[in-house]
Structures are given as structure tokens and as C-alpha cells.
Amino acid sequence: MLFQTEPLDTFTTHTAELTAELTAELTAREKQYNYYRDKLLTFEDGEVEWKALEDIAEIYGGLRGKSKNDFESGNARYVPYKNIFFNIDVDFDSLELVSVSASEKQNSVQYGDVLFTGSSENAEEAGMSSAVTIEQKDDVYLNSFSFGIRFNDDIRFIPDFSKYLFRSSFMRTKISRTANGVTRFNISKARFKKIKIPILCPAEQTRIVDILDKFDALTHSITDGLPREIKLRQQQYEYYRDLLLSFPKSETTV
């Protein structure tokens, strides 16, 4: 059996070392991505115009008056809390269902909106954002534990720019400071709407988005980036492990 275990031990060690190297490289690229994102989205006083959210956007809430039964089977889609928390732009392939009658007055999300989680177990993770970057034909609603902002018609914010802006370090710091609590931290809307954000022309927004899209694809893409390479190495290891540990059935002597 020695001729089988030695190759497997060697391959196990090699795979572990390679995975560690690739993981370290991915971590380095994520740091690089965060660095350039924050550098591109950090502005000094006088560089750009700053406006408070209350002056350029309206804040709206999520679903109201819903019971547990309304979520057991539904006729309408809504954006769940985790979808916002884990995605810088809404993943419309991962929505959930809720019952909404035609007579109800519920807020639906629109292209260009930015959605925020209303609370978290710590202030640093409260108010995580996710931008609505894809137009939807049917109404899509927002979960009860989140809220959204909708920019005024005269404010030209590119949705793909919003998804990066509100996840930048300086904006995350501003947002987390609006949270109050002890065991659960809730965003104070009164303080949140006072946050000032930079107003950039569409051309400059587009330039920044083009740069960050490339960094994002290189860092996070499961198809083109390092995560795919790590996955392939793990699959390769499992293939050879199973191959080495598969033994032919012995022939039965008649």
C-alpha cells in the first residue's frame, strides 16, 4: 500500500501549499482593490461639491404590515436583508416571495436606488449598501428591516458608481457613525440623512467605475480570477485522491 500513500501524501502537501499561496495572493489583491477603490473615492475639501443626503434624495422604508403567513407563499418578489448585506449591487436572481395585494401601498425599488440594511449586531456592519443597477419590469419590494434612498431627478448618480461609493471606507465610516444601540445597532434616519456625499459629473463617475470594474473582476470573479484557480486545484486534488483510493474488484474464483 506504500506505493499509493506516498504519492497521495505528496500531492496533499503540494495542493495545500499551492492553495495557501493562491489564497494569500487573493488576499493581497483584495487589499489592492480596496486601496484603489478608497483612493479613487476619497476627495479633499474643495475638490468636489458636497451635499447632504436629505437635500438630494428621499428615504423610503421596506414592507409594512406583513405577517409570517405573507412570506410562506407569495405573488411578489422582494429583496431580502442578506442580499443587500452581501452584494454591492442587488442580485435579482436571489430574491424571495411575499404576498402583496393590488390595494396595498408598498414602496417598490427602482433603478438607481441604493438599499441599506437597517441594523446589525455591531455598528461597523450597520447600514450596508446595495445599489439597484438593473431595471425590473415587475415591482420588486424591500424587506422590512431595510430602507432605500432615491435620488432627486436633478441628481445624476450612475448606479454602478453608487455601488462603489457607499461601500468605500470613508462612506462606511460615516454610515456606521449614525448607528445607535447596545446589543443591536440601528441606523438613525435623522442622522443618516445628514451625511454629506461627493457630487461628481457623470463623466468622472464613469471613469472611476471603469477602473473599479476591472479591479473587481480581477479580484472577485469566479470565472477569471484566483477563486476559480483555487477551486480547480481543489477539484484536481480530489480527482487524484479518489483515483488513488479506487481499487479494482478482485475476481471470484470458480
Residues 158 and 73 in one domain: yes
Q: Distance of alpha carbon 185 from its chain centroid, rounded?
A: 20
Instruction: State pLDDT tens for residues 113-170.
Output: 999 999 999 999 999 999 999 999 999 999 999 999 999 999 999 999 999 999 999 9
Determine the structural domain holding residue 250 and report its residue range: 1-48+201-254
Residues 33 and 75 in one domain: no
* Model confidence at 233: pLDDT above 60: yes
Mean pLDDT value across residues 212-230: 72
Residues 29 and 95 in one domain: no
Residues 100 and 184 in one domain: yes
196: Cβ contacts below 8 Å, ≥ 6 apart: 50, 51, 52, 53
State residue 1's pLDDT score: 45
pTM of the full structure: 0.80
Picking from 152, 168, 199, the residue at the C-terminal end of a domain is: 199
Q: How far apart are CA 206 and CA 3, in angstroms?
A: 59
Q: What is the CATH number of the domain that holds 121?
A: 3.90.220.20
Residues 62 and 30 in one domain: no
State residue 65's pLDDT score: 94
State residue 89's pLDDT score: 97
Mean pLDDT value across residues 213-222: 76
Residue 3 pLDDT class (50, 70, 90 cuts): very low
Count of C-beta atoms within a 10 Å radius of residue 243: 9
For residue 174 the three cell numbers come to 460615516
Picking from 177, 199, 221, the residue at the C-terminal end of a domain is: 199
* Model confidence at 247: pLDDT above 80: no
Residues 18 and 94 in one domain: no
Residue 227 pLDDT class (50, 70, 90 cuts): low
* Model confidence at 248: pLDDT above 70: no
Residues 69 and 110 in one domain: yes
Q: Which residues of 181-213 are buried (b: 16+ CB within 10 A; e: fewer)?
A: eeeebbbbeeebbebebbebeeeebeebbeebe
Residues 205 and 195 in one domain: no
What integer best gives the mean pLDDT of the chain? 88
Residues 60 and 41 in one domain: no
Residues 179 and 223 in one domain: no
Q: Do 61 and 42 touch, CB atoms closer than 8 A?
A: no
For residue 90 the three cell numbers come to 442587488
Residues 122 and 222 in one domain: no
Percent of the chain that is helix, strand, coil (3-state, to 5): 45, 20, 35
* Model confidence at 186: pLDDT above 90: yes
Q: How far apart are CA 172 and CA 86, in angstroms?
A: 14
Picking from 168, 183, 199, the residue at the C-terminal end of a domain is: 199
* Model confidence at 177: pLDDT above 60: yes
The count of structural domains within the chain is 2
Q: Do 140 and 95 touch, CB atoms closer than 8 A?
A: yes
Residue 2 pLDDT class (50, 70, 90 cuts): very low
Q: How far apart are CA 91 and CA 174, in angstroms?
A: 25
Residues 121 and 220 in one domain: no
Name the residue with higher pLDDT: 228 or 59: 59
